[in-house]
Structure 1
């Protein structure tokens, strides 16, 4: 068990923790949340023994193996695969001892057998294969796994650090913002991996859907204390809203925030089409109206103004081939962006989503075809590396003054206040800002210019949960057009009315919602892996002579007989999934009932949250079983 008793921690003039208590039991998966700079990463350093408390004590079992995700990695000639394998230090030590023993002519046979037995006991012989699977899930191709670490960019090196942490056999795993540099497919893969992790997991994350899928508890930094909530992030929001409602001032703010959100949902409902994405967004907005009261004390409140003038279309791509001098990434793109369109770009890693946004933004010229812009087009472009364009020696106020020299200082300060730059913070040098603070400033600069087309490529990287919530609200009501790439499904669900799937060299409308896309992506990655495995095998064996019809009929009958137990099992799982989905919907309906939170029903709330977690776990297990059996069936049919 992890036990913090009366822990106080000070850094400079700031009090991060003041007599804080917290207990986390073995096997629990807990999300660590709080505003940027509140002390989340410092808490990890306490658990790792890298820092001492100013008061109180931190206890955890001395025998626990701890794995943690480093934030930096040195450039080296070591291959990506070997770097990840180093995460399992016991495996690496045994490999070294075995190599030395086998190279020595004086090695005792009994000792050699003992080393092989220890290697087998830790499943060491499958180590390289397991490391390759981790890298594959994190988006590294088989060729990239052999490249030296120094050849990767900073974001991809962070992925290597994540793979190295996952490779370590751990009783306690500490992950600090693991999804920051992941795209959606890698995020979904990581969710599934962590759901199967048997140890204790503490994870700092600002991705609410990711936390909902992985954790069964939340530790929140609140006024220098650690407050433990049971359930996932959605359960935390409901519990926090109930607690805040007991305070009159907060309650009044809640009612105003809820009324505003409910009015927006009514307005959207009146114009929403029957398209599946629009209906999915409507459901997401309904949920936002329920959770809005949990964020009434957020320091971030802002809107995204749009240009007074517009064009129709704002921008038009006609028969555009998108890519680079050495290759075409997306072919024959036909895309017209009209005012008010809200598009989410979906697609696997490397398919060309960022290249498409760059072409729309005008920073990447199409290889062929046309890019036509409306007379009043005003683009606000947030690129993945937008933070690098900031002047590290300038202040937030100076950045805005450069854009509008004639604007009054007070108007600029008022605007920056909505993004968390209050008081003298507007004069601080950007070079000393955290990644989250830089991201907030970049968004503020973009909003100040009043674009009528927002092009956003992973805008939530480095943003904390409160800022993500404020951005989601602002984008939901932004009157202009939005094109969005994000691994944050909550943001996508509440922002996009339609999706475009970028895959296999094409960019085409996608009729499903995000749940459908998740299943499509799992199938896409499975097919990709199968193709890679087939292409890596040495071909050249002669094809078998064609069988006569009688032999073919016998083979078909034998195949049906072989598949029958699996197909029956698949149907049984589908029936179980339908029943579990119905049970989960019933529990969620009860949890959505506002009367439940009127007070005095904490035990019932806790019981329903447990039921919800159990049903969600059951659904995940059934889905994994269904996918495994489906894959087995496909493998048998393709033999």
Structure 2
């Protein structure tokens, strides 16, 4: 089991957890929830042995194997499947010992090691790894490719596969659904349901939490609280708890007011002085109940568009793609006023390509894009975050967008996106991904668009902001088209689905559960053996065409990969510096009297390094997505 006993955890001078006690039993599948900055990632670092408790204990059984997803993937020459197999550390250790015993011709050791390998079912390890890769979207002919040949998004999936491959007792997952498509999220959901160990994960995907979790651990007000049930059940229990707490708080406030009134009236009177003193002591000993916080920090909505022409936008016999190769071909469709469309389809099918085409960000190879005279598009994608000026403030962005608006009006508007007070005046550069996404959405909302195009808008957004965005989209009067792996958002804001694939975008008759069943049927069909005699020649021709495409793409990718290598070097240096600072701050030496100045400087530099590292990692992800966009016409799985 996992036990936290009177745990106190600090990062620098900030207390994240104070005197918390909690027990999580073996086999539990728990979601860890809490506001951004509350300390969720620090708690993971504690469980991985990267941090130490400042007071109290964090206890794991000594024999437990802990698995987590690596944040970086070196450009290795090993195959994808061997990289995943490296996640099974016991397997690799036994294989190394067996190789050594065979070199020494040690028959006894060889026999013992074969028995150990049989015990852990080593002979099925390669097929297990292949199934993991398949579930995470890798094509059968991709699993032997070198890790270095994959772009960043696919390397992140390799890291996830490696963590799942580990026969762990405790699995730690931090936002595992970020940057996955809906199909892969559904597969991962099913895999985690069958995971036999203890699972602790951070996620802002409520459907994912609902489907997988048996418990929720809330990190709030510097303490840990365990709730039994999934996320929806947790919300109900928390609401009841907050209601009780608010009632207790109000009763206590009345009690305090009564005591203070007595003290004020009778403290100076000799006949009442002793009674007043007793009430002063009672007031001092009173354990104060905190007021309940039930309100979201976000409050915004879309104003009714100034015009709603119909249709808003048409595509006529359009082909679009990258490097001259179409991803979408001979596509004709219309976006009507009031349409609410969710796009479905496997990764690489062309969903983002279609959104860019509709937004006017991607020029068609052939055909015509016809827009209404009064069309006003609000387009959100992760690439839009790059257009924010890092040296400017949220208020500065708004003032450029609306130069005639009064400052107080703009500040009030930004407050609805939780940019209150000084938060509206700080530079964008050091902001987190979630803060930048909120600002990008605020700029879109202000423009009063009549067509909203949202490509994975919930990446980096916490549950409160996702809920606020969902409510705002439900009231949006214009047309909406959205790509998202967040099923709650899709189900709550869209009326119809389009299936993107095989170069086309067609209406899908059904809901997300129908789509899930359709995908399972397609996957089962793909696993059935084919009797087509022409299959082998067709595969040979397909491989020849893919080889030609790889060669062309390689030339176009060279400058991007050079930028990527430079960025990875900077991230590596900054990560090393940050680890050194954190190691010092976690040591007893840091709190010696003669190290106070160094501790303060280290805490300041650690904050700067964290912000810079987050900025570089966002830039790294953006560059990886640019590379993936280039490869979109090639089966990069």
- TM-score tier, shorter chain, comes to 0.7 to 0.9
Aligned to 1:286: none
Deviates more, 1:138-147 or 1:86-95: 138-147
Moved more, 359-368 or 44-53: 359-368
Which has the higher mean CA deviation after the structures are superposed, 408-417 or 200-209? Answer: 408-417
Give TM-score scaled by structure 2 length. Answer: 0.74
Measure how far apart 1:245 and its partner are.
3.0
Q: Please identify, of 46-55 and 190-199, the stretch whose mean Cα deviation from structure 2 is larger.
A: 46-55
- 2:4 equivalent in structure 1: 4
Matched, 1:219 2:217: yes
Q: Aligned-pair distance for 1:110?
A: 2.9
CA separation in 2, counterparts of 1:101 and 1:378?
A: 71
| 1:138-149 equivalence runs, <5 A | 138-149=136-147
Equivalent residue for 2:78? 78
Partner of residue 374, structure 2? 376
**Aligned counterparts of 1:82 and 1:123: Cα–Cα separation in 2:** 17
Task: Find the aligned partners of 2:404 and 2:9 in 1 and give their Cα distance.
Answer: 45
User: Which region of structure 1 is more displaced relative to structure 2, 331-340 or 169-178?
Assistant: 331-340
SS in 1 for 2:140: coil
2:112 — aligned with what?
114
Three-state SS of the structure 1 residue aligned to 2:429 is helix
1:576-615 Cα deviation digits (max 9, x unpaired): xxxxxxxxxxxxxxxxxxxxxxxxxxxxxxxxxxxxxxxx
Change (3 A) 1:97 1:536: farther
Superposition deviation, residue 112 in structure 1: 2.2
Deviation string, structure 1 residues 65-119 (Cα, Å, up to 9, x no partner): 11011223233333322222211111122233334444x3x41233223222222
Match of 2:37 in 1: 37
CA contact (8 A) 2:305 2:477 kept: no
Deviation at 1:58, TM superposition (A): 0.9
Distance apart, 1:296 and its partner CA = 4.1
* Residue matched to 1:17: 17
Q: Counterpart of 2:60?
A: 60
Relative to the length of structure 1, the TM-score reads: 0.74
In structure 1, C-alpha distance between the alignment counterparts of 2:363 and 2:390, rounded to whole Å: 29
Which structure 2 residues correspond to residues 524-539 of structure 1 after superposition, within 5 A?
A: 524-530=522-528
Q: Equivalents in 1 of 2:180, 2:227: separation in Å? A: 27
- Report the alpha carbon displacement of residue 536 of structure 1 after superposing the two structures with TM: 12
Q: CA deviation at 1:137?
A: 1.0
Once the two structures are superposed, the pairs formed by residues 268-287 of structure 1 within 5 Å of their partners are none
Task: Give the secondary-structure state (helix, strand or coil) at the position aligned to 1:246.
Answer: helix
Asked whether the equivalents of residues 245 and 251 of structure 1 are also in contact (C-alpha less than 8 Å), the reply is no
- CA distance in 2: counterparts of 1:410 and 1:459, whole angstroms: 28
**Does the C-alpha gap of structure 1 residues 120 and 455 become closer, same or farther in structure 2, counting only changes over 3 Å?**
same
CA deviations on 1:151-196 (whole Å, 9 max, x unpaired) are: 3333322222111110111001100000001110000000000000
Q: Deviations over 1:386-416 (max 9, x none)?
A: 3333333332222222322333322222111
Alignment partner, residue 174 of structure 2? 176
Match of 1:411 in 2: 409
Superposition RMSD in Å: 2.5
Report the CA distance shift for 1:310/1:482 in structure 2 as closer, same or farther (over 3 A). Answer: same
Taking structure 1 as reference, are residues 510 and 64 closer, same or farther at Cα in structure 2, changes over 3 Å only?
same
Deviation at 1:486, TM superposition (A): 0.5
Give, in angstroms, the shift of residue 248 of structure 1. Answer: 5.7
Other-structure match for 1:263: none
Alpha-carbon distance between aligned partners in 1 of 2:249 and 2:481, rounded to the nearest angstrom? 36
**Alignment partners' CA distance in 2, 1:49 and 1:198:** 23
Change (3 A) 1:248 1:56: closer
Residue 515 (str. 1) matches residue 524 (str. 2): no
Provide structure 2 residue ranges, at least 5 long, that are not aligned to the other structure.
251-291, 539-637
Distance 1:326 1:130, change over 3 A: farther
Mapped to 1, the partners of 2:293 and 2:348 lie a distance apart of: 35
CA contact (8 A) 1:31 1:202 kept: yes
CA separation in 2, counterparts of 1:533 and 1:81? 28
Alignment-derived partner of residue 232 in structure 1: 230
Q: Cα deviations across residues 320-352 of structure 1 (Å, max 9, x unaligned)?
A: 233234432233322211221100011122211
Helix, strand or coil: the match of 1:432?
coil
Distance 1:435 1:369, change over 3 A: same
C-alpha separation in 1, matches of 2:67 and 2:534: 33
- Equivalent pairs counted in the alignment come to 497
Looking at structure 2, the residues matched to 251 and 335 of structure 1 have their Cα atoms a distance apart, in angstroms, of: 58
Equivalent residue of 1:521, what SS? Answer: helix
In the alignment, structure 1 residue 89 sits paired with structure 2 residue 80: no
2:341 corresponds, among 343, 362, 370, to: 343
